[in-house]
Amino acid sequence: MLFAIFFTLWRFSEIVTLIPIMGMLAWFIHAFINENELTPNYILVLFIISVLAVAWTIFTLFSYHRSSNNSHFVSLIDLAFAGALIGAVYQLRFITHANCYHIESTDQWLLPARTLISLKPQGIDVLGSSKPCAVLKTCFALGIMNIVFFFFTAVLAWMHGGKLSRNERERRVVTETTVRRHRSRGTSRPRSGSHHSRRSSHSHQRVYV
């Protein structure tokens, strides 16, 4: 019961924080597509991982019974998403030093993000507006949050899977013990019957003698 409550709460937290990442990064991707330019890896990788992670969290949330029975598998996939998010956030690490309230052309974070400057015709003005910088910084923060969330759900699912395996072993032990008791009782009854028949035959022989 506790696993179901915590699992559902953390899954909702993951969904709520992953969907904004998808929406904000889709804004950049749409602009790059309109400009017929390739989307940078620090945007595309985090977007793809977010899409896959949202699909996985929704699937495991609505198919809870399957997720509960395959807790170890769910734990491994969650751990894989945590590792993938670490790689995606690492590519976006340059935004941590950005001052979104005062942007200058000489800022160091604009060097890896120089491709964003070409998106000005699409309404994304990196130098004249703080919105692109704030969007990237928000995605970076939400990505770090989801690393923690997926790692926690991975540990939670693994512990639940270990508990289920222990319960299954205990059930098997109880079942085997019960079967052995029934077998021992079944085998002991014929022996008592045969012993009784031997006594009766022996008594009959004495009567006739």
* Structure token pair of residue 201: 């035959």
Residue 22 vs residues 3, 29, 84, 199: alpha-carbon distances, Å = 28, 10, 15, 87
Q: Give the count of beta carbons closer than 10 Å to the beta carbon of residue 147.
A: 18
Tell me, what's the pLDDT at 91?
93
pLDDT at position 45, please? 95
- Specify the pTM: 0.73
Rounded Cα–Cα distance for residues 203 and 163 (Å): 60
pLDDT of residue 100: 85
DSSP annotation string for the chain: -HHHHHHHHHHHHHHHHHHHHHHHHHHHHHHHHHTT-PPPHHHHHHHHHHHHHHHHHHHHHHTHHHHHHTHHHHHHHHHHHHHHHHHHHHHTGGGGG--TTS--TT-GGGTTTGGGGGGGGGT--TTT-SHHHHHHHHHHHHHHHHHHHHHHHHHHHHHHHHHHHHHHHHHHHHHHHHHHHHHHHHHHHHHHHHHHHHHHHHHHHHHH-
166: its two tokens: 């222990």
**Tens digit of pLDDT for each residue in 129-144?**
788 889 999 999 999 9
Burial of 51 per CB tally in 10 Å (0-12, 13-18, 19+): middle
Where do we find the tokens 């699409």?
A: 122
Over the chain (209 residues), the average pLDDT of each successive run of 10 is 77 94 93 87 95 94 71 90 96 88 80 77 74 91 96 87 50 51 58 49 43
